[in-house]
Chains A and B, each alone.
Chain A
């Protein structure tokens, strides 16, 4: 009977274009759009680092500063551009005298274009600070004689960059993986798609209830609890297949098409555990919502609405780091966030102890949801009569 139930539920979804669109097309589109957007955003950040330096005449070190800014990735026009959207760095007359002093009034004014994104503005400020730190190092090394004053400027700059390089102190591998824009969008929208199985499940429940199939089944030699359990198993299998397809597309096809490093899953056992955990949680949650709703309208509003709110709270739409603290803290209570964190760890190949914490939380949540769903379903079934 389980085999027939699996076949039935799989065919019901496969034969329904709307369900396929919700379960596959929608998350794939989100993955593509969001990965492209964050990839493009990184490129834009780099290309937007354009800075005009004003007041070069006030400092004999201004050329060094400009070279250091260029080394940080800034594009510095040879003559200042006075457009409103151009970011500017203005040097004050006493800059050279005050540069080595720890205190004093600021002698540089950084004005960043209002048109730049908050992330780009932050990046620009940090890079200007880094350039100034390198300038201080330059002056210090000249003073101590560690830097040959007769060397051409480009070689001096090269030595300063080498002396201030700290990248060897950082773990390179994980930084590379986390730099991949696909790593943020693929797990998030993968999870979003998996949780959206609530719509096909709700619609099947409502159809079965409305057209008398459930009444008919009540007169069959099977308990409704057993029927519910079989349906749940069938949906978990459908969800795992959906997860496999989304993982294939999200980890390989999308990064390949967008010329990004491919994502890989960390170990077969971890992958299987993650897929089963996330699918079981999504199905238990979907069954609970499906057993609560009574009409197509309710299914769409409750099923879709709850998932969209959870996704927003989990940082899928707006990054958690730019959310207010109390809103960002809510993500820690969201099963979608736990699910996405499991996948991120799996894809960034950096599994730590929180992997098990998130897994345990998801299993606990799914157990609660399944119990509540079964209770609600049984209660509704008891009240279901002829017509």
Chain B
């Protein structure tokens, strides 16, 4: 018998508008989050991502529809969020004048009533986020990477099951970003459910299982990223002629300059692509494969302006 993972959060036909008679900011959205999954919410600016996350985290109340945390039936919505949900805002949501330890101690003192557990929870968060070296340093003096880790550590010190992350790797060096992505993958393995917003689509591809595309407050596409799809990118010495483009059996997307991309959905398309590339071998400058086809999907969905 297949093991079914529990649903952590469901949204059923949720709508929300900030003003009466104005277009809805969230329009009839339904989705569900599975335990241990990472779901990305993507969309252009003003698509409704922030509003949707505000609704899911109880910061706003849905005007129609229902939001439930079925895994925590024993709690009400507010209690479930207070006990099991943590936020990692894009800004450094902590006190820059306090040390790393004092920041964690303050937030733990709010989330955990049992004082005997405070030290243990702080230590666990420090260890998970590799903050041992800077634990006594003032938060404001940390590097961008450590600040990002502290931002996440504060969320983890609450010992949540669901974590909402808003661009947690913005403005940091590649090594620090890798460390954070590794940490988030570890959290997924531990069964934590992640909700992720970012404009860095390669990170989304690396980390997320599902992507929800929002536009004008509506879900315009939901995509599972664990499929067999591949993205093939190549660049040429000079622009391809129309006759050369037609060698490919599926639509070829022209990126900047002489860069091209195509999505391969099955082995037949893969064979056709290799055949076409073989005919163009003298013109090919560089070639790469990726299981990240999210970028093309994003471009397909949002290239046209919203009417």
In the complex, A163→B136 CA distance in Å? 76
Is B289 engaged at the interface, CB distance under 8 Å to the other chain? no
Contact with B along A349-387 (1 / 0, CB 8 A): 000000000000000000000000000000000001111
In the complex the two chains form, is B87's CB within 8 Å of A216's CB?
A: yes
Cβ of A5 within 8 Å of any chain B Cβ, yes or no, is yes
Complex CA gap A283/B294 in Å reads 53
User: Is B53's beta carbon under 8 Å from chain A?
Assistant: yes
Contact A221/B98 with A4-B106, A213-B93 known, Cβ cut-off 8 Å: no
Residues of A within 8 A of B58 (CB): 218-219
Does B54 contact A386, Cβ atoms closer than 8 Å? yes
- Give B158-188 as 1s and 0s: 1 = Cβ < 8 Å from A's Cβ atoms: 1000001010000000000000000000000
**Does B209 lie at the interface of the complex (its beta carbon under 8 Å from any beta carbon of A)?**
no
Is A222 touching B110 in the complex (CB atoms < 8 A)? yes
CA distance A318 to B257 in the complex (A): 73
Find the A residue at minimum CB distance from B81: A219
Instruction: Give the contacting residue for A387; candidates B90, B98, B106; CB below 8 A.
Output: B90
Interface residues of B in 218-275 (CB under 8 A from A): none
Chain A residues bordering chain B, tally (CB within 8 A):
28
> Using Cβ atoms and an 8 Å threshold, which residues of chain B touch A218?
58-59
**Cβ–Cβ < 8 Å partners of B82 in chain A:** 219-222
Counting CB contacts under 8 A, is B89 at the interface?
Answer: yes
A386 touches B110 (CB 8 A): no
Chain B residues with CB under 8 A of A210: 91
Residue from the list A8, A215, A384 in contact with B102, Cβ < 8 A: A8
Expressed in whole angstroms, the minimum distance between the Cβ of A67 and any Cβ of chain B is: 68
Within 8 A of B (CB), among A207-226: 207, 210-213, 215-222
Q: Could you tell me the distance between the alpha carbons of A128 and B11 in the complex, rounded to whole angstroms? A: 91
Q: Does B83 interact with chain A (Cβ within 8 Å)?
A: yes
Q: Which residue of A lies closest to B85 (CB)?
A: A219
Query: Any chain B CB within 8 A of the CB of A11?
Result: yes
Determine whether B131 belongs to the interface, using a CB cutoff of 8 Å to chain A.
Answer: no
Q: What are some 10 contacts across the A-B interface (CB < 8 A)? A: A4-B109, A7-B102, A15-B98, A212-B91, A216-B93, A220-B158, A227-B110, A386-B54, A386-B59, A387-B166
8 closest residue pairs by CB, A with B: A212-B89, A212-B93, A221-B82, A4-B109, A385-B54, A15-B97, A387-B50, A386-B54
Report A's interface with B, CB cutoff 8 A: 1, 3-5, 7-8, 11-12, 15-16, 207, 210-213, 215-222, 227, 384-387
